[in-house]
Every structure is written in structure tokens, then in C-alpha cells.
Amino acid sequence: MPIVSHGSQQKVALLRSLNLMKVIMNFTRWVLAKSHNSVPTTYCHIIQRGQPRTAAATHAEINEQVRMAMRGYSEPVRKLQTSTGTKDKIAQHWIEILLAKAQKMKVENPGRSTDENAEELAKWYQEQPGDKMNPLLLLESETINYSQYCFARG
């Protein structure tokens, strides 16, 4: 028979997690205080992401990822997503399909140019029903991300 009941084990685990979170927050405050000579008081002062993104800019970045996927460039797509911080779940679904189709086309027709394959994939992609990316990116707005807006205002 266990000395500590199951419910008590969960409480102990939760307390350990909370203590770890406190340690991390204290360390973060210490690092920020050392680097800025003051302790930030709000989320907006901690998160600094630069200029806010617009829906149009994000839409353009995702379209570039899709164009690269049509050419079969998986590594440049990944690098672009990482460098810009832009990745859309709906678009990612299509990007993975396009990369697989582009790879298959290269194997089946090795003498065919990348441009020809990309044109065929672009035509196929446009014929597919449904959303190609998050529909909210088609709306006109000043900013997308609150933390970026918060920083831009602050």
C-alpha cells in the first residue's frame, strides 16, 4: 500500500511544477533587471517582437511559402517559416501536399523542368476546393498579433 495517496501525489507534482515556474520567473526577472536595470511590470514590456504584422504581409509570406513548395523546395520553405515566424496551419496542410507532389513529379519525370512542374502544381492547387490559408488573413486589419500591437503601442 502506497504511503501517499494518488490525490496527494498529484498535489505534490503540482506544487513542484508551481515552484519550478516561480524559479523560472524569478530568474527571468533577474536577467531582465540586469539587462535593463529595471524589472518589467507587464507582459508588453517583456515581449518585444518588433514591428507589428499586417494581414497583408502575413498573406504575402505564406504565398511565398506555397510558391516554394510548388517548386519542391522543402528546406527553403522551413527556413522561411523560421526566419519570418510565419506559419499557418491550413496553408501548412497544402504546403506538405505540394511538396510531396513536387517530389513525386521529379521522380516520375526527371527530365522535366522545375518551372513546368510548378506551373502544373499551381493549376492543380487553384482547382482544389476549400480554404488555402486562414480566411482571417484575407481581412484588412492594422495588426494581427496582440503582443506585437501591445509592444508597438508601449
Q: In this structure, are 28 and 98 located in the same domain?
A: no
The parent domain of residue 91 ranges over 55-153
Say yes or no: 30 and 102 in one domain: no
> How does pLDDT run across 4-20, given as a tens digit for each residue?
445 566 666 666 676 77
- Residue 25 inside a domain? The answer is yes
pTM above 0.75, yes or no: no
The per-residue pLDDT for range 86-96, each reduced to its tens digit, is 899 999 999 99
- Give the pLDDT mean for 143-152: 45
Q: Which long-range CB contacts under 8 A does 91-100 form with residues at least 24 apart? A: 91/62, 91/65, 91/66, 91/132, 91/133, 91/134, 94/66, 94/69, 94/125, 94/128, 94/132, 94/133, 95/65, 95/66, 95/69, 96/69, 98/66, 98/69, 98/70, 98/125, 99/69, 99/72, 99/74
Per the domain annotation, does 48 fall within a domain?
A: no
